[in-house]
Amino acid sequence: MRLVGELQRICGRENVLTDRDRLRTYESDGLLHLREVPAVVCLPGTADEVRRVVRACHEAETPWVARGAGTGLSGGALPVADGVVLALSRLRRILSVDLPNGRVTCEPGVANLAVSRAVAPTHFFPPDPSSQVVCTVGGNVAENSGGAHCFKYGFTTNYVTGLEVVLPDGEVVELGGAELDRPGLDLVGAFVGSEGTLGVATRVTLRVVPVPETVRTLVAYFETMEDAGRTVSDVVAGGIVPGALEIMDRLSLRAAEEATAAGNPLDVGAALIVELDGPTAECGARLAEVLAICERNGARGVRVAADEAERELVWRARRAAFAAMGRISPSYYVQDSVIPRTRLAEVLGRIEELAAEYGFPVANVFHAGDGNLHPLVAYDARVPGEAERAEELAGEIVLACVAAGGSITGEHGVGVDKKRYMPAMFSDEDLAAFQKLRCAFDPEQRANPGKVMPTPRLCGEVPGPYRQHPLEAAGVAERL
Amino acid sequence: MSEPVGTPVSAREAAELLASGVTVRPRGGGTKWAWAGAAKPDVVLSTAALGGVRELNAGDLTAVLGAGLPLAEAQAACAEAGLMLALDPPGERSTVGGVVASADSGPLRHRYGAPRDLLLGMTVALADGTVARSGGKVIKNVAGYDLAKLFAGSHGTLGTIVEVVVRLHPLQASTATAAATGDAQELARGALALAAAPLELERLDVRWEGGSGALLAQAGGVSAAARAGRAAELMREAGLDAATHENDDGLWEEQRAGQRAPGGTILRVAGLPAELELVLTTAERHGAALVGRAGIGTSWLRLDAGAVAAVREELAPFPCVVTDGPSGLDRLGPRDPALVALERRVRERFDPAGVLV
């Protein structure tokens, strides 16, 4: 492969991997059952090396996949056979911290949590995926990552103000900047969440916000998921916007308890975590309201974390829920669907029916404020056929969520894993509109091909020569 | 306005009009019609028949709104459910579609963001005659490209917004505002202190005219009065003369009104919070009146059209855009050619024949 020599010249021999054993480290992301060994992995050390690598791929007509920490759960960083993986792990410098303006500029390989650490103790970066210790800012940008605090604080897209992007033809363009309300199209908004298909970000400017004065965290235990769900509805109807609202069902609670011994009871149907943050006066008044709502909905018990250590224990159990499933099941498959929260009881009922029909236990972990459901289908991959049937069940669950007015993915991305469900949410005309954006950035579709869109589509030429806008012709340039 | 007007009653009809071979520009309330300059379309696409509160899902904090719905009607419907659409730009006749298409916002921008930040989904009519939906109806969703953000602020140049899905927020039980007067340095110091304080302010604004100015900080919620009091203390620590107001609607109405100058010129400066003093002294030097989002960094300068070029130069590299203003002014100022080229590639894909003017 002639490209390999070129990549070695750009990144240095030691930063280009072609040995099959070393390539296998990059064969999948966090969705382990999807694997593809790439032809070559290169690890550029600077933004300019990234530009030259992308340019070289463009000239060699070779597809490439950018990759951060590889923690994604949708196969979004799955390599392309015969393609290049552009691993950004060496681009991990924080370039500037500007607290008066609430901005951090960093390279894409910086870990999510490192941003908050760089601006502590006065500020923080709100998006907090469970993998925040290792997952990268570049990956967060590609996936528009969320976390447990989205209901109040929003998503990565609400915190990215500027991007330096290498387009798939190797050109570099600055999208946005430190300032908001810039003229022109919101290409930052279009780029964030585009799953690596529009180019690769080599520098990211983020907005960080002041740390709340007070955080109050409580866990309430309920007999049923319905009671927990109704409590959430009452909290929201009361005009309260907690920083986090998380529900764990009986099965996930049991798994997490075995892993963390956080002291959660095992004989309850659901645990609800409510975290209020903000000004002390506001939190204090709202906490009393939340406690009253929990009681009214038949809470079996409520624990209010007395200090940071107790709060950490509550969150440790919640964050451990995925990995802890390994203790009660040899294999599991995580879904990431979203439902309108008011349809919770109905959708959970449907999931229960489906679980019984397929004969697999399904645990539910739920970002209850924003309706993001993470059903975990437990199965045994060693039993022939189980993996396929578990995936089929997971698919039925996704479709049930879409049928209730929801989405196929709340934060994990479409990647490869969920692209087959895209037609359940989007018509042919919708998908064709998505493709227009893709083609504007990447007409040859070499950046992370085979992701997001359910079926391959060509870009084609722009029909006819571009006609100048009358506005441009009149010399007033683009509209605002 | 002398152009013929088409008034589609459905997304499909809107798309048919866009694909009919004539040049088209959408119009909602018409409050920002002059922002596009002198160029005229063959046909105006009125969104008047594409209105309506199509869904208001109070429990889910979402609403589906027709583009032609007046923003004030959307607010009234939300308020009845104890909720708000956290957008308060000026313009009594503004429509939801017009506000989104122009990325306009008001003082609530401080806490809740711009239209882009409140959009969950969007339906657009495109120049190829198709109707495309993106996003969804839930408040968390990453399926597909975020075309809603691309279209927010695109001023109708990529297609016509026919419907949006928005995130709603609880209407605050009560509000209170701390207001203080002082010189540019004191205002800048006070603004930074307030922006960094964990007060969860709803609004944080500045105004300036004729040598003096004011800083306004609004708190909401059950502890609004206490937090406005705390904001006033921080203002005093910055050297400002501060008082708190519980009936604060009038104060904020003035802030919103300052973003427009019918018949005059407005220069919108995309600055940064820590550069407020520079923007204030520049405004003063050119005899400009100013309202601004102190915690965001965006300001609106009401000035003589003749001062635009000099102000732009003195505030470079902050992007300065003329909104209201005589035709013939350079509305956008200098822009990065690489970015302009990419924007053109996006427009070519959505509007290859250049009919969306």
Residue of chain B nearest A142, judged by CA positions: B142
Structural domain range at position A203:
94-210
Helices A321-328 and A250-260, packing angle to 10 deg: 90
Helical ranges in A192-307 per DSSP H:
225-237, 250-260, 280-296
Same domain, A185 and A99: yes
A126 within 8 A of A115, measured Cβ to Cβ: no
Residue A465: pLDDT over 80: no
Query: A184 and A271: one domain?
Result: no
pLDDT of A180 > 80? The answer is yes
Token pair of A246 as six digits: 């998380």
Whether residue A331 contacts residue A380, with contact meaning beta carbons closer than 8 Å, is answered with yes
- Please check whether residue A319 lies inside any domain of the structure: yes
Same-domain status, A328 and A226: yes
Burial of A135 (0-12, 13-18, 19+ CB in 10 A): buried
Distance between A479 CA and the closest CA of chain B, angstroms: 6
Q: Can you tell me the distance from the alpha carbon of A340 to that of B236, in angstroms, rounded to the nearest whole number?
A: 45
Span A155-177, mean pLDDT? 98
Q: How many domains does chain A divide into?
A: 3
State the 10-residue block means of pLDDT for chain B, 357 residues long: 89 98 95 83 97 97 98 98 98 95 98 98 98 97 98 97 98 96 97 96 98 97 96 97 95 97 96 98 98 98 98 98 92 95 97 95
* A100: CATH: 3.30.465.10
Distance, CA of B260 to CA of B325 (rounded, Å):
10
Asked, as a colleague might, if the bond just before A121 is cis with ω within 30 of 0, I would say yes
In a domain, A473, yes or no: no
The two three-digit tokens of residue B315, written as one number? 């505030």
Of B136, B142, B339, the CB nearest to A144: B142
CA distance B325 to B307: 12
A461 part of a folded domain: no
Q: Does A371 touch chain B (CB under 8 A)?
A: yes
**Phi/psi at A241 (5° precision):** -120, 90
Task: Give me the CATH number covering residue A351.
Answer: 3.40.462.40
**Residue A409 falls inside a structural domain:** no
Name the band, by pLDDT with cuts 50, 70 and 90, for residue A467: low
Match 């459901």 to its residue by tokens. A373
Please answer yes or no on whether B352 and A466 come within 8 Å at the CB atom.
yes
User: Is A471 a residue whose pLDDT tops 90?
Assistant: no
CATH number at residue A65: 3.30.43.10
Q: How far is B135 from chain A (nearest CA, A)?
A: 9
Last residue of a domain, one of A153, A185, A210: A210
Please tell me the distance from the alpha carbon of residue A130 to that of residue A147, in angstroms, as a whole number. Answer: 7
Q: Among partner residues A367, A425, A480, which is closest to B143 by beta-carbon distance?
A: A425
Question: Which positions in chain A touch B333 (Cβ < 8 Å)?
Answer: 183
Question: Do A53 and A202 sit in the same domain of this protein?
Answer: no
Residues 6+ apart with CB under 8 A from A63: A57, A80, A82, A83, A84, A445, A446, A447, A448, A449
* Candidates B136, B145, B199; nearest CB to A190: B145
| A305 shares a domain with A277 | yes
Domain-embedded: residue A413? no
Q: Which of the four pLDDT bands, split at 50, 70 and 90, describes residue A474?
A: very low
Using the 3D structure, point to which of A210, A242, A263 is the last residue of a domain: A210
Residue A65 bridge partners (DSSP): A85
The answer on A294 and A311 residing in a single domain is yes
A175, A407, A458: which to substitute to probe chain B, counting the most B Cβ within 10 Å? Answer: A407
Dihedrals phi, psi of B232, to nearest 5 degrees: -65, -40
* pLDDT value, residue A475: 42
pLDDT at A464: 56
Cβ-defined contact of B348 to A466 (cutoff 8 Å): yes
Question: Which helix (H) or strand (E) is A273 found in, with range?
Answer: strand A270-278
Burial A152-180 (b: 16+ CB within 10 A, else e): bbbbbbbbbbbbbbbbbbbbbbbbbbbbb
Please state the pTM of the whole predicted model.
0.96
Task: Find chain B residues with C-beta within 8 A of A372's C-beta.
Answer: 140
Assign A476 a pLDDT band (cuts: 50, 70, 90): very low
pLDDT tens digits, residue range A343-385?
998 999 999 999 999 999 999 998 999 999 999 999 998 999 9
Quick check: A455 contacting B, CB < 8 Å? Answer: no
A225-237 and A280-296 helices cross at what angle (nearest 10)?
Answer: 140
Is residue A472's pLDDT more than 90?
A: no
| Pair A108, A24 in one domain | no
Mean pLDDT value of segment A39-52: 98
Indicate whether A455 belongs to any domain. no
Question: At which of A343, A369, A403 does a domain end?
Answer: A403
Q: How far apart are CA A143 and CA A192, in angstroms?
A: 7
Query: Are A285 and A228 within 8 A, CB to CB?
Result: no
* Segment A396-400 mean pLDDT: 96
What is the amino acid identity at position B70?
P
Would the CB atoms of B335 and A477 count as touching at under 8 Å? yes
Q: Is A21 exposed, middle or buried (0-12, 13-18, 19+ CB in 10 A)?
A: exposed
Touching check for A476 and chain B: CB below 8 Å? yes
- Tell me the chain A residues in contact with residue B171 when contact means C-beta distances shorter than 8 Å: 239
Q: Which residue of A has its CA nearest to B356?
A: A469
| CA closest to A480 among chain B residues | B332
* Alpha carbon distances (Å) from A212 to A204, A300, A447, B230, B299: 24, 30, 39, 15, 27
Residues A326 and A199 both lie in one domain: no
pLDDT tier, A256 (very low <50, low <70, confident <90, very high otherwise)? confident
Q: Which of A193, A285, A340 is facing B223, going by the closest CB pair?
A: A285
3-class SS of residue A7 = helix
Residue A453 resides in a domain: no
Can you give the pLDDT at residue A477? 42
Name A312's Cβ contacts closer than 8 Å, sequence gap at least 6: none
Q: How far is CA A429 from CA A325, A436, B54, B122, B123, in A?
A: 40, 11, 22, 13, 11
| Pick from B35, B196, B321: CB nearest A210 | B196
Q: Which pair of tokens denotes residue B294?
A: 């102190």
Q: How confident is the model at residue A468 (pLDDT cuts 50, 70, 90)?
A: low
Q: Is A221 helix (H, G, I), strand (E, B) or coil?
A: strand
Closest alpha carbon within chain B to A172:
B338
pLDDT of residue B249: 94
Q: Which residues pair with A221 in a beta bridge?
A: A271, A301
Domain co-membership, A67 together with A32: yes
Chain B residue with Cα closest to A417: B143
**Does the distance separating the beta carbons of A194 and B138 come in below 8 Å?**
no
Which pLDDT score is estimated for A329? Answer: 86
What pLDDT is attached to residue B5?
96
CB contact set of A179 (below 8 Å; sequence gap of 6+): A161, B270, B271, B272, B297, B298, B318, B319
Cβ neighbours of A156 in B, within 8 Å: none
Cβ–Cβ below 8 Å for A476 and B327: yes
Express each pLDDT in A194-241 by its tens digit: 999 999 999 999 999 999 999 999 999 999 999 999 999 999 999 999
Question: A82 and A12 share a domain?
Answer: yes
Q: Are residues A352 and A370 in the same domain?
A: yes
Q: Which residue bears the tokens 């407005």?
A: B266
Tokens representing A226 are: 């319905």
Q: Which residues of A touch B268 (CB under 8 A)?
A: 181
Q: Is residue A429 part of a domain?
A: no
- Tens of pLDDT, residue by residue over A122-143, are 999 999 998 999 999 999 999 9
Q: What fold is seen in the domain B5-170?
A: 3.30.465
Tell me, yes or no, whether A167 and A309 share the same domain: no
- Per the CB < 8 Å rule, is B37 touching A471? yes
Where residue A319 falls among pLDDT bands split at 50, 70, 90? confident
DSSP B87: -
Whole-angstrom distance, CA of residue A437 vs CA of residue A420 = 20
Residue A367 sits at the chain B interface (C-beta within 8 Å): yes
Distance of CA A124 to CAs A156, B15, B189, Å?
13, 44, 22
Give the chain A residue nearest B173 (alpha carbons): A239
* Interface touch B153/A185, C-beta < 8 Å: yes
* A contact residues 52-111, partner B, Cβ 8 Å cutoff: 98-103
Chain B nearest-CA residue for A471: B39
Question: Which residues 6+ apart lie within 8 Å of A337 measured at CB?
Answer: A372, A373, A375, A397, A398, A401, A402, A406, A407, A408, A409, A410
ipTM: 0.98
Q: How far is Cα A146 from Cα A163, in angstroms, rounded to an integer?
A: 19
Q: What CATH architecture does domain B172-350 belong to?
A: 3-Layer(aba) Sandwich (3.40)
